[in-house]
Amino acid sequence: MFNLHGKKGLVVGVANNHSIAYGCAKAFDLCGADLAITYMNAKSETYVRPLAEILGADIIAPLDVEQPEQLEALFKLIEEKWGKLDFLVHSIAFAPKDDLHGRVTDSSREGFMRAMDISCHSFVRMAKLAEPLMQDGGCLLTMSYMGADEVIENYGIMGPVKAALQSVSRYLAAELGPKGIRVHAISPGPLQTRAASGIKEFDKLMEHAIERAPLHTLVSIEDIGALSAYLVSDVAKSLTGGTIHIDGGYHIVG
């Protein structure tokens, strides 16, 4: 697809072989990049490590973004191992179940703040730590959803959180652009992942997407991976600050 030989990339958010982050990691590996892949805890390591080893990841490390020392340790390891970082993928999101399944009006302060911290501000923290490692420029990617742009039934507080994430990506693009660091939010259409399983009646949302999307198809993790490989490659060196929809055109019909 795209030549990523010699590039070093961090992928955060692999949970299993159905994860968007795994689709990205596969594409990066196919294009020749060296990878660092994280897992959240000991339980998730049993699923993530075998996948990372299949891809020949140089670095396999724990990362719970609610533990600041882990994030700092990860980037220190990347600095010691590689001395640089060319791109990263931030593909994590979380909201407490009660807040996710309830009305935004009823969301708790604690739940809203935790969802924002894990799903949005963690991207800011990664960008800050990546900046000094991207002396020759780089690319930061995060994953959004059309619920940031319009009200999606049962998406709850993740809609406002994803809207904030898209705004953050634009501000990061503006602030880091002079250093050659590009930033994008990718907005995939609905697809079956572990994260999506937490949204009520998600099957109906996927059926509606197939029916309404101009291409009458769902996006795959391979599709998202191919787009991500393009965006982090030198071919896309003039692109930054976008929210890029990959959903068979679903976003234009809603």
| Neighbour count for residue 148 (Cβ, 10 Å) | 21
| Neighbour count for residue 177 (Cβ, 10 Å) | 14
Q: Which two tokens stand for residue 170?
A: 């634009």
Q: Which of the residues are catalytic?
A: 145, 155
What's the distance, CA 127 to chain centroid? 13
Which phi and psi (to 5°) does residue 51 adopt? Answer: -70, -45
Dihedral sign for Cα 186, 190, 195, 199, please: positive
* 131 vs 68: CA distance, rounded Å: 17
Q: What does the longest C-alpha to C-alpha distance in the chain come to?
A: 50
**DSSP element (H, E) containing 44:** helix 42-54
